[in-house]
Amino acid sequence: MSGKFITLEGIDGAGKSTQLDTIQHWLEVRGVVVRRTREPGGTALAEALRPLLLNTPMSPLSEALLVFAGRHDHVTQVIEPALARGEWVLSDRFVDASFAYQGGGRGLSQDILKTLETWVCADFQPDLTLWFDLDPDIAAQRLARARQEGDRFEREERAFFERVRAGYEARSHLPRVYRIDAAVEPRTLAEQVDGVLRRAFPSLAGSP
Ligand SMILES: Nc1ncnc2c1ncn2[C@@H]1O[C@H](COP(=O)(O)OP(=O)(O)OP(=O)(O)O)[C@@H](O)[C@H]1O
Ligand SMILES: Cc1cn([C@H]2C[C@H](O)[C@@H](COP(=O)(O)O)O2)c(=O)[nH]c1=O
Nearest residue (by CA) to ligand 1, atom 18, is 15
Q: How far is CA 102 from CA 42, 44, 90, 108, 142, in A?
A: 20, 23, 22, 6, 23
CA 40 to centroid of ligand 2, rounded, Å: 6
Q: Is 11 flagged in the annotation as binding?
A: yes
Phi-psi region of 17 (alpha: psi -120 to 50; beta: other; left: phi over 0): alpha
C-alpha to C-alpha distances, 197 to 128, 171, 193, nearest whole angstrom? 9, 19, 6
Annotated ligand binding at 12? The verdict is yes
Other Cβ atoms less than 10 A from the Cβ of 173: the count is 7
- What's this model's pTM, rounded to 2 decimal places? 0.97
**14 labeled part of a ligand binding site:** yes
Q: Which of 7, 9, 11, 17 to mutate to test the pocket of ligand 1 (most atoms within 8 A of CB)?
A: 17
Q: Could you tell me the residue range of the domain that residue 132 belongs to?
A: 4-204
Residue 206's pLDDT is what? 81
- Ligand 2: residues whose CB is within 6 Å? 12, 38-40, 67, 92-93, 97-98, 101-102, 153
**How many domains is the chain built from?**
1
Distance 138 CA to ligand 1 centre (A): 10
Report mean pLDDT in 10-residue bins for the chain, 208 residues: 94 94 96 98 98 97 98 98 98 98 98 98 97 97 85 95 98 98 96 97 87
Burial 45-59 (b: 16+ CB within 10 A, else e): ebeebbeebeeeeee
**Ligand 1, closest atom to CA 93?**
25
Count the residues in the chain. Answer: 208
Task: Give backbone dihedrals phi and psi of 6, rounded to 5 degrees, phi first.
Answer: -115, 130
Task: Pick the residue whose CA is nearest to atom 10 on ligand 2.
Answer: 40
Please tell me whether the interface predicted TM-score (ipTM) of this complex is above 0.85: yes
Task: Look up the CATH number of the domain holding residue 38.
Answer: 3.40.50.300
Query: Residue 146 has what pLDDT?
Result: 84
Closest ligand to Cα 18: 1
